[in-house]
Chain A
Amino acid sequence: QSVLTQPPSVSGAPGQRVTISCTGSNSNIGAGYDVHWYQQLPGTAPKLLIYGNNNRPSGVPDRFSGSKSGTSASLAITGLQAEDEADYYCQSYDSLSSSWVFGGGTKLTVL
């Protein structure tokens, strides 16, 4: 049971916009701790996609964006492409457990 809750799966057609939610509580996201997002392509290591709620590392397309409000955060992907099919994880800090925590992951399927 993850401290951060993500939908198990989302899907969209090429060119569409999809969002992935990450719901936490007042001991993590709601406490003001940053949310970060990772993309894990099949059989590969996770890759940092968004850091500090809404910042993209160099090389990440601006089709990917992050937002945070209250005890939740979201990852939005616009102009969906086949290569975006992957697992996506959110991550933050939880003061109750004094640990860095990940969401359970969301599998994105491009139809």
Chain B
Amino acid sequence: QLQLQESGPGLVRPSETLSLTCTVSGVSISSGSSYWGWIRQPPGKGLEWIGTISYSGSTNYNPSLKSHFTISGDTSKNQFSLKLNSVTAADTAVYYCARHFCSGGNCYGHYYFDYWGQGTLVAVSS
């Protein structure tokens, strides 16, 4: 059974760097055609895709957020991580990791998020 679990600090000070980790169990993050994403949800608001890392380590980011985030993978621990530089109050949100999956043959633009972690709340406050 595929499971994902986010971990990280619940409180970060403005201008500091936030690091979150997603631990995956049940499948290797480096297995072929595996993609892994981060999504966030500010309190009381909707979902926003942040970025995705592939099984080979290539990354793809939301263009409106690209300069703010970095996604990396650690295949030895079967984890992938999200780093946010110079956080502000606007980064306060629940952060989810999820598998970014496509079940068909022609997958361009057809990916969806089929397994999600439970989410971790990150508050940015001094």
Contacts and interface: CB of A to CB of B under 8 A. Distances in A.
Contacts, number: 67
Contacts of A102: 46-49
A45 B47 contact: no
A46 B96 contact: yes
A81 B49 CA distance: 30
A61 interface: no
Interface in A57-107: 57, 89, 91-93, 95, 97-105
Interface string B96-119: 100010011000011111101111
Interface of A: 2, 31-34, 36, 38, 44-48, 51-52, 57, 89, 91-93, 95, 97-105
Contacts of B110: 33-34, 52, 93
Contacts of A31: 109
A46 B114 contact: no
Contacts of A45: 96, 116-119
A2 B49 CA distance: 12
Contact of A47 (B63, B64, B116): B116
A93 B96 CA distance: 19
B62 interface: yes
27 contacts: A2-B46, A33-B109, A34-B109, A45-B96, A46-B47, A46-B96, A46-B113, A47-B116, A51-B112, A51-B114, A52-B103, A52-B110, A52-B112, A91-B47, A91-B112, A93-B110, A97-B62, A97-B64, A99-B62, A100-B52, A100-B100, A100-B111, A101-B49, A102-B46, A102-B47, A102-B48, A105-B47
